[in-house]
Structure formats: structure tokens, C-alpha cells
Amino acid sequence: MALAKLGVVVLDCPDPGALAGFYAGLLGGTVEVAEDGDWVTLKVPGGQALAFQRAEGHTAPQWPRADSNGQQFHLDLTVPDLDAAQEGVLALGATLLDAGKPGRSWRVYADPAGHPFCLCAG
């Protein structure tokens, strides 16, 4: 029996509203902003909610690195067409970190706050 249920995945960032907007453009969903603007929740239809918390002095993770400033955490997002999804995430403000060799089924990007995420062919 589980001891807990996952409530929300939270990403620290300098601008919660902007980062929530990026992920809303990528995943869809509804953005809910707390009164002070320091906490923003993205409720994704049929999926796990994501939250974004203002972190003054936020330092973006570095990819790929194995030390304490390394990736720390990333999201794997399944897409039907890697090329089309790449075009979309780049237009939203993502940065391509690793396209891999031709034919590889996943690619690595950074969101606008520097968090790495992967688009995976599904």
C-alpha cells in the first residue's frame, strides 16, 4: 500500500507565470495564478498538474553534468511526431540541447527557465 499520493510536481523558476505559459502552450490546460503571483498551477486535462514557484536567485540546471549543478530533474513528454513537436517547442521558447543521432527516438530541450525536458516519440 502506498504511503502517499503525488499531489503536484513543482518547478522553481524566476517567473512562474511565464513558465506556466510555456508549459500551457506545450501541454494545454488551465493556468491558475495565486494572489501574490509567486505560485502558479497548470491543470492539464487528464494528466498530472504542474506548479511553478518563484525562486529568487534561481540557477538553471546544467545539462549534461553529473555534479550538483546537473540536471537534477526532468520531464519526459511523449509526442506523436518529433519533428513537429520540436518546431512547436522551439516556437514557444525552448532551447534544443541534444538532437541525438538520426533515428534516435528522443531529444533533449531546456524550457525558458533552463529546466531540461525530453520529447520522446510515442
Give a yes or no: residue 2 inside a domain: no
Q: Residue 111: which domain range?
A: 59-122
Q: Do 21 and 46 lie in a common domain?
A: yes
Give a yes or no: residue 20 inside a domain: yes
Q: Do 33 and 69 lie in a common domain?
A: no
Q: What are the average pLDDT values for consecutive 10-residue runs of the chain, which has 122 residues?
A: 78 95 96 95 92 91 71 83 95 95 92 92 88
Q: What pLDDT shows up at residue 63? A: 80
Q: What pLDDT shows up at residue 103? A: 87
Q: What pLDDT shows up at residue 74? A: 80
- Please tell me what DSSP assigns to residue 23: H
Q: Do 72 and 51 lie in a common domain?
A: no
Q: Do 53 and 84 lie in a common domain?
A: no
Q: What pLDDT shows up at residue 120? A: 93
Q: Do 65 and 122 lie in a common domain?
A: yes
Q: How many domains does the chain have?
A: 2
- Residue that terminates a domain, selected from 15, 37, 57: 57
Q: Do 69 and 53 lie in a common domain?
A: no
Give a yes or no: residue 104 inside a domain: yes
Q: Do 53 and 63 lie in a common domain?
A: no
Q: What pLDDT shows up at residue 71? A: 61
Q: Do 93 and 112 lie in a common domain?
A: yes
